[in-house]
Structure 1
Amino acid sequence: MSLRRLLPVLGLAASAAMGVGGAAAQESGPPRETGAAGPWELALDGSFRRCGLMLAAEAGPVGQALRFPAGCRRALPVVNGLGGWRQEGDLIQLLDREGQPLLAFAAPEGEGARSAESPSGERYSLAQAGARPSAPEAPLITPAALSTLPTAREASRDGLAVAPATAAAVTGLYTLDRFVEKDVCRVALKADGAQVQEGCRDPGLALFDPTAWHYEAGRLVLVARRGHSVELIPVGEGRWRRDPEIGTTFVLRRVEP
Structure 2
Amino acid sequence: MSAGRPGIGLPALVALLLLPVSLASSAWSQDSSALKKEMVGQWELSTTERSKTCVVTLKGDASPQGLKLELEPGCAAALPFTRDIAAWNVKGLDIVRLQDAAGQPVIDFTEVESGIFEGLRQGEGIYILQNLAAARSLAKSMDQMIGDWSMVRGNGVAICGLTLTNTEASPDNFQVFLKPKCDPAIAAFAPTQWRLDRGQMILMSAKGDTWQFEADDNAQWRRVPDSADPLIMLRQ
TM-score interval (norm. to shorter): 0.3 to 0.5
For normalisation by structure 2, the TM-score amounts to 0.42
The structure in which a higher percent of residues are strand is 2
For normalisation by structure 1, the TM-score amounts to 0.39
* More relative contact order, 1 or 2 (CA 8 Å, 6+ apart): 1
